[in-house]
Amino acid sequence: MAHLKAGLIGLGMMGRHHARVLRELDGVELVAVADSFGDPHGVAEGLNVCASVDELIDQGIDMAVAAVPTILHEEVALKLAAAGIHCLVEKPIANDSASGRRIAAAFEAAGLVGAVGHIERFNPALQNLRARLEAGELGDVYQISTRRQGPFPARIADVGVVKDLATHDIDLTAWLTQSRFVNIFARTTHRSGREHEDMVTAIGLLDDGIITNHTVNWLSPFKERTTVVLGDRGAFVADTISADLTFFENGTFQTEWESMAAFRGVSEGSSTRFALAKREPLKMEHEAFRDAILGKSMNIVTLAEGLATLQVAEAVLESAANGASVSLFDLAI
């Protein structure tokens, strides 16, 4: 396998995991790290800690991971593109869609691989679910519901829950269904006293008629990451914390218990929890990025896809601010 020299900029909570996986990746050598605030988690392991992206570029790297705050994504990505370096940038692609468009255009013009770290696509439960949906195991898909909630992460300060967390659900919903959002209605709240929203509920419509709803917050005392896909033959439930996938089928036997029959819309069938090979999603994401650079596959979240997700997130915030649904038909995605 070809040998790629990798750099990492951003050595915070997520950066430390990227550093570990880069060191484990076949065909890739982590040769340089950078962070203007130093190395709080001790991930450099003998490497000099560069103070800027310019110093990182000077180390002669082929590829880079940008795990810096969202507001810095454009600055870092554009410098990497100008230097001819492939880049995996953490989600969201940028702070706003104008910035995201400039990043995508720069990498396309340079003929470089750019990817966005929407890691849920690499969760074994969701990958298996998508394969089953493609195989028609659920029949017609009616609705996708997601719940993503937990305690407030002190490390996030530059964006709210919509761009930080809800972008996961926007991306995975469009990816699972292979369909884009065409309309969104949302409500947000500010309960923690911070600048950005910390709770959102959104209802969406996809262009194939599937309806969606998403509950996301930083205010829950428990952590939850659940995706429910309801269709003609039952429902799939994916838990991306445990990477479990369960199918609840519509049965063929009506209940004879009168009090139960009164509120059951369909007959009750069997449930099956699938046995899945559970590889680490972050390592699978890195392997996909490496293979895209080598021309072996393109199973990455492209910059264009990352931009489309960000545009939907912006529509969520617009809807919440204006109290009206927002059409996405006219967005230049």
Residue with tokens 């130093």: 38
Q: What confidence tens digit (pLDDT) does each residue in 97-127 have?
A: 999 999 999 999 999 999 999 999 999 999 9
Q: What confidence tens digit (pLDDT) does each residue in 243-258 have?
A: 999 999 987 655 565 6
Poorest-confidence range of 118-127, 269-278, 300-309, 319-328?
Answer: 269-278
Query: In percent, how much of the chain has pLDDT > 90?
Result: 86
Name the band, by pLDDT with cuts 50, 70 and 90, for residue 262: low
> For residues 246 and 244, what is the distance between their CA atoms, to the nearest angstrom?
7
Residue 133 pLDDT exceeds 90: yes
Which strand ranges, in their side-by-side order, compose the sheet holding 326-327?
A: 268-273, 244-250, 234-239, 224-231, 141-149, 211-217, 199-206, 181-189, 326-327
Given a contact cutoff of 8 angstroms between Cβ atoms, the answer to whether 214 and 220 are in contact is no
Poorest-confidence range of 71-80, 155-164, 293-302?
Answer: 155-164
Name the band, by pLDDT with cuts 50, 70 and 90, for residue 261: low
Q: What confidence tens digit (pLDDT) does each residue in 207-256 have?
A: 999 999 999 999 999 999 999 999 999 999 999 999 999 999 987 655 56
**In three state form, how does the secondary structure of 293-314 look?**
HCCCCCCCCEHHHHHHHHHHHH
Structural domains in the chain plus CATH codes:
4-118+282-301 (3.40.50.720), 121-277+311-327 (3.30.360.10)
Using alpha carbons, select from 306, 174, 148 the residue that is nearest to residue 227.
Answer: 148
Residue 195 pLDDT exceeds 90: no
